[in-house]
Structure 1
């Protein structure tokens, strides 16, 4: 079990998960301290646009598209919803967005202006369930996207994205299972990881990179 360190904000979470069973304990020992890095400076609108930009793309391709978008608005960290709406669609398409992603981003900008997407301060006061219910109603926004917002922008510590392949495959490998758990099985199993399901997800995303000795990493 890892030793709690005063400068480690996730020490309690790591210790809690390591106490679940020998597989968790060994994995956390291999990986070490949790280095989860949320981005609380990003408001929900920005976080959602970034998530859409990277959907179904390798990180390098997403970086390039986002970089071209930001270059359209020099001198500021991120464009406002009003700026997105005012920008010619052909210019935005030139950044590399598909027609579907462009429509989603324009819809997000309108939703932010209309108050459907809450501000950072408003979102902090909303429950996980309320945010998910409100935002998945928007075009192109699924539950996984909102869960990433909860994890990285709002710093929620008890979010488990059960539809995430890395989480489900990580757990399969961690426990030596023949097949991934179903969505419901994953959600039910993860109840035991509360109130640190976000940290559990972080460790599960690293199972393949830190396999147990003798584990088969080719299947």
Structure 2
């Protein structure tokens, strides 16, 4: 579903990837017809407005430390700590990001340590400490362990 909506969104701008100005000038109804919910339209527009106001590019963000990047990105409506952490892990390839709010990580830790229930955020934080400075890699293996468990 997300890939379909993404494709429809990009199709609104056939000659090039949309700029922040393009998005801000696209009528809300047009964005909604592409499949974006009202809240997603609001988030995309807030991001575009912040880009126009000087939000750092990915290349500029890459020079910042993780906490600074999270602080910058969470100022955008619709981007929370988890979303910023996913960007750190998957786009900026940071090796020591530990997404304590990720339910998949918590479920994998529950399975790994044979806990009665998923660990709390604080317990998840403690579980990740031995894996520093490679917690992103540990997180990836934990996510994969859930996929492997589904196989049999």
Same fold (TM over 0.5): yes
**Other-structure match for 1:179:** 117
Instruction: Report the Cα offset of residue 75 of structure 1.
Output: 3.4
Would the aligned equivalents of 1:169 and 1:180 in 2 still touch at CA under 8 Å? Answer: yes
- TM-score w.r.t. length of structure 2: 0.93
More helix by share: 2
Asked if residue 108 in structure 1 is aligned to residue 47 in structure 2, the reply is yes
Of residues 83, 97, 110, the one that matches 2:22 is 83
Which segments of 5 or more consecutive residues in structure 1 lack a partner in the other structure?
A: 1-60, 212-216
Q: Could you say what secondary structure the match of 1:206 adopts?
A: helix
- Give the alignment's TM-score, normalised by structure 1: 0.65
Superimposed CA distance per residue, residues 70-123 of structure 1 (whole angstroms, 9 cap, x where no aligned partner): 1111133x31111111111111111111111100110000001111x3112210
Count of residue correspondences: 150
Aligned position for 1:139:
77
CA drift at 1:64? 0.9
Q: CA RMSD in A?
A: 1.3
In structure 2, C-alpha distance between the alignment counterparts of 1:140 and 1:120, rounded to whole Å: 18
Task: Say if 2:106 is the partner of 1:203.
Answer: no
- Structure 2 residue matching 1:210: 3-state secondary structure: helix
Displacement of 1:204 after TM fit? Answer: 0.8
Q: Which has the higher contact order (CA 8 A, sep 6+)?
A: 1
